[in-house]
Amino acid sequence: MSFPLFDLSGRRALVTGAGQGIGFALAEGLAAHGASVLLNGRSAEKLTGAVQALRDKGYAAQAAPFDVTDGAAAAQMVAVIEEETGPIDILVNNAGMQFRAPLEDFPVEKWDELLRTNVSSVFHVSRAVARHMIGRGRGKIINIASAQSELARPGIAPYTATKGAVRNLTRGMCADWARHGLQVNAIAPGYFRTPLNQALVDDPQFTGWLKKRTPAGRWGEVGELVGAAVFLASDASSFVNGHTLYVDGGITTSL
């Protein structure tokens, strides 16, 4: 059975922070629906393994290593991809980081690093890619926000601020670029099992709190984000713009 609305065949997707976790799962999911994928990250070694894992499954994948926090590097690599590989039809801004500390003791350098990694990277890469998409009159940009775009917890106030910024930057991108044929939306994951969250997964107290706090009563699995990504990357979402789709087991719906 064919579902042409969700078919990504012939399209090229750039996924940032794709060496592991959510980024890798999204790259694999887009590839499974027909897209050729470019995996971005700063670790060439990690990317090599991730690319090979996708190729072993018969997917078209290659590495695109560059520092997403460096605007000049992002513009240069995007230009190289567009010229040597082909047009970027789909961009997934997934690169991000977390750092936990009481707000009154939060290191200034970590605040700056969070802003560069979680917010500035979205601006730099989206701007570079959108300039090409605008000329073609089409394109899909998916920003990875968070349940913390809506909520806050002790110890992560700066992270919450960055993810709120991603949500509103998504709206701003829509306001500027929708008239050029681009759809810009965000996915806001709740709590998912990833290598970066493993310490929390292994903490019985935190996992117990999470199961009680989340209506679904469990951690999310990264594969459960793929459907949202495919929807927002495909023709099925042709009139969806500036939207943040929460994939969070219901955690943002209840007290």
Catalytic residue annotation:
159
Residues 80, 61, 36, 125, CA torsion sign: negative
Beta-carbon contacts of residue 131 (< 8 Å; ≥ 6 apart): none
Q: Are 47 and 19 in contact (CB under 8 A)?
A: yes
Distance of alpha carbon 219 from the chain centroid:
18
Neighbours of 59 (CB within 10 A): 18
- Give yes or no for a contact between 220 and 249, defined as CB atoms under 8 angstroms apart: yes
Query: Could you give the angle at which helices 121-136 and 157-177 cross, rounded to 10 degrees?
Result: 10
Helix axes 108-115, 157-177, angle to 10 degrees: 30
Widest distance between CA atoms in the chain = 56
